[in-house]
């Protein structure tokens, strides 16, 4: 580890978090628990206590932390230090004070986020993700891009969190080797089908975040008709309408009173390109960054703007996509979960809390959790909870 990173004792972090007090708990879920802490000298930090299996060796952990520790970017959450104590593995991050993008977009009673702020967050998080993909050595694939992993400081500058954690946490808890990891609404179709991870999987997930910013909708809405629960599938015709005719009706968050149409259309173009079915036809994040600012010339690369169904025999094809998504949706939602009693309820300030009217305990878990789907075709598909709130390195 470099001198800019600190090795903490377990006792130091225990004292910093008041004994890992529930009062200091910021979130918990698939990767572990996150606590607010106060170091000697007054520095405020977020302490992530990883769930680590017995197969996680100290040398492997140190090697992965070394990679994370070399990442420095204004739009990425900074690692302050780490702790290894027997089987305990803890990471210490800068505390980001203004909550998650998810909280500000979807939290109950939150004021409407204005357009300049949304664009600022999109641009900042795109820059952070592009840095992971292009400028880190080795390159880092995030694997879990979503609005709850985009943290905001007091100026609403975005910082992407939780990069690099997939290799640090136990497969027992996070299902990152033979199973697809991530939240259903953000999963790239080829990732859900094969488990193959590339930078283009992150690009797709980022496209879903852009759709959240454009529409104010959640990535999954079970009040929608069967097949349209996914924000991406719901949005596709509206994206095409906006790109072909400049008609933003339907795609823009109706709560937005004022916005710049040219900026909005650029984000529409970027979102549509990012969520193309075919991974090879999605742009790189380094091409998304300038598109959000002014230059969309590199988004399409010979693909007709807005189109996402141009496939080659060697790539993920439309029939396979439709089959996988139908299977996936059936596994996630079930064939009997779309009755009149099914409501998503109002958005809450805590993404781990949902309304429960008329829902079974499994349905409530599906609402509360990030959903992990097995990509191992030799065994049955399975859903595993991975609560979004676990990814917070921040407070409210």
Would you call 316 helix, strand, or coil by DSSP? coil
Contacts of 72 (CB under 8 A, 6+ apart): 78
CA distance 354 to 345: 7
Residues 20 and 116 in one domain: no
CA-nearest of 247, 315, 240, 249 to 277 is 315
DSSP state letter for 166: G
* Together in a domain, 144 and 244: yes
Indicate whether 172 belongs to any domain.
yes
User: Which DSSP helix (H) or strand (E) runs through 264?
Assistant: helix 261-274
15 and 128 in a single domain? The answer is no
* 105 and 191 co-located in one domain: yes
* 305 in the same domain as 168: yes
Give yes or no: residues 208 and 89 share one domain: no
Contacts of 339 (CB under 8 A, 6+ apart): none
Q: Domain of 50?
A: 6-94
Element of type H or E holding 305: none
Q: What is the mean pLDDT of residues 302-326?
A: 52
Tell the burial category of 310 from Cβ atoms under 10 Å away from its Cβ (0-12, 13-18, 19+): middle
| Contacts of residue 27, Cβ cutoff 8 Å, sequence gap at least 6 | 33, 34, 352, 387, 389, 390, 391, 392
Res 300: pLDDT:
77
Asked if the structure places residue 386 within a domain, the reply is no
- pLDDT of 288 higher than 50: yes
Same domain, 70 and 217: no
Give domain status of residue 390, yes or no: no
CATH number of the structural domain spanning residue 300 = 1.10.510.10
Residue 308 or residue 161, greater confidence: 161
Same structural domain for residues 29 and 178?
no
How many CB atoms lie under 10 A from the CB of residue 336? Answer: 7
For 213-230, the pLDDT digits (tens) are 999 999 999 888 877 789
Quick one: 159 and 87 in the same domain? no
The verdict on residue 348 lying in a domain is: no
- CA distances 35 to 4, 13, 370, 386, Å, are 22, 10, 20, 17
Q: What is the pLDDT of residue 227?
A: 75
Of 308, 328, 348, the residue at which a domain comes to its end is: 328
DSSP label at 309? -
Whether 168 and 256 map to the same domain: the answer is yes
In a domain, 358, yes or no: no
Tokens of 373: 């789907």
Q: Per-residue pLDDT tens for 45-55?
A: 999 998 866 45
Binding residue per annotation — 48? Answer: yes
Coil, strand or helix: which one is 395?
A: coil
Give the pLDDT band (50/70/90) at residue 301. Answer: low
Whether 179 and 291 share a structural domain: yes
Model pLDDT, residue 377? 29
Yes or no: say if 127 and 73 are a contact pair by the CB < 8 Å rule.
yes
Q: Is 144 a catalytic residue?
A: yes
Per-position DSSP letters for 182-233, written without gaps between them: S-GGG--HHHHHH----HHHHHHHHHHHHHHHHH---SB-TTSPTT--BHHH
CA dist 65 and 81 (Å) reads 9
Instruction: Find the CATH number of the domain harbouring 81.
Output: 3.30.200.20
Catalytic residue among 94, 114, 135, 144: 144
Which phi and psi angles does 111 have, rounded to 5°?
A: -65, 155
Closest CA to 56 of 140, 170, 160, 182: 170
Q: What is the mean pLDDT of the chain?
A: 78
Residue finishing a domain among 328, 360, 377: 328
Q: Are residues 18 and 57 in the same domain?
A: yes
At 160, is the secondary structure helix, strand, or coil?
Answer: strand
Most confident of 34-38, 304-308, 392-396: 34-38
**How confident is the model at residue 299, as a pLDDT?**
87
Give the torsion sign (CA, 237, 211, 166, 141).
positive
Q: Is residue 355 part of a domain?
A: no
Is residue 31 a part of any domain in this protein? yes
- Picking from 328, 350, 369, the residue at the C-terminal end of a domain is 328
Q: Confirm whether 373 is domain-assigned.
A: no
Residue 319: the pLDDT is: 60
Which uninterrupted H or E stretch holds 83? strand 79-85
- The structure tokens listed for 322 are 């439709």
pLDDT by residue (tens digit) across 95-151? 999 999 999 999 999 999 999 999 999 999 999 999 999 999 889 999 889 999 999
The yes-or-no verdict on residue 1 having pLDDT over 90 is no
What Rg value do the Cα atoms of the chain yield, rounded? 20
The owner of tokens 């299977």 is 327
Give me the mean pLDDT over the 314-341 stretch.
Answer: 50
Count how many domains the chain has: 2
């Amino acid at each position: 580890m470099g001198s800019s990173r600190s090795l903490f004792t377990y006792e130091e972090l225990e004292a910093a978090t008041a004994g890992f007090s529930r009062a200091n708990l910021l979130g918990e879920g698939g990767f572990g628990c996150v606590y607010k802490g106060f170091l000697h000298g007054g520095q405020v930090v977020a302490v992530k206590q990883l769930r680590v299996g017995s197969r996680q060796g100290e040398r492997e952990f140190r090697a992965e932390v070394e990679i994370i520790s070399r990442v420095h970017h204004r739009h990425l959450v900074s690692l302050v230090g780490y702790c290894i104590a027997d089987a305990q593995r803890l990471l210490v991050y800068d505390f980001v004070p203004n909550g998650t993008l998810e909280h500000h977009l979807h939290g109950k009673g939150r004021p409407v986020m204005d357009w300049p702020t949304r664009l600022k967050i999109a641009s900042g998080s795109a820059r952070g993700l592009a840095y992971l993909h292009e400028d880190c050595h080795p390159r880092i694939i995030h694997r879990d891009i979503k609005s709850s992993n985009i943290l905001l400081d007091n100026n609403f500058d975005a910082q992407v969190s939780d990069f690099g954690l997939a290799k640090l946490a136990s497969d027992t808890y996070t299902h990152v080797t033979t199973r697809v990891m991530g939240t259903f609404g953000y999963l790239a179709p080829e990732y859900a089908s094969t488990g193959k991870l590339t930078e283009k999987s992150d690009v797709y997930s980022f496209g879903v975040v852009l759709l959240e910013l454009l529409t104010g909708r959640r990535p999954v809405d079970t009040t929608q008709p069967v097949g349209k629960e996914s924000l991406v599938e719901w949005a596709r015709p509206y994206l095409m309408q906006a790109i072909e005719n400049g008609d933003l009706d339907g795609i823009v968050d109706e709560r937005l009173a004022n916005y710049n149409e040219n900026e909005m259309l650029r984000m529409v173009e970027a979102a549509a390109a990012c969520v193309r079915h075919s991974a090879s036809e999605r742009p790189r994040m380094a091409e998304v960054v300038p598109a959000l600012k002014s230059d969309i010339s590199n988004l399409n690369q010979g693909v007709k703007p807005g189109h996402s169904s141009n496939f080659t025999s060697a790539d993920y094809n439309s029939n396979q996509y439709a089959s996988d998504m139908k299977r996936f949706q059936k596994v996630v939602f079930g064939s009997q979960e779309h009755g009149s009693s099914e409501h998503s309820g109002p958005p809450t300030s805590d993404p781990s809390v949902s309304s429960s009217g008329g829902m079974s305990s499994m349905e409530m878990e599906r609402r509360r959790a990030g959903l992990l789907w097995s990509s191992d075709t030799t065994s049955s598909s399975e859903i595993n909870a991975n609560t979004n709130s676990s990814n917070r390195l921040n407070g409210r």
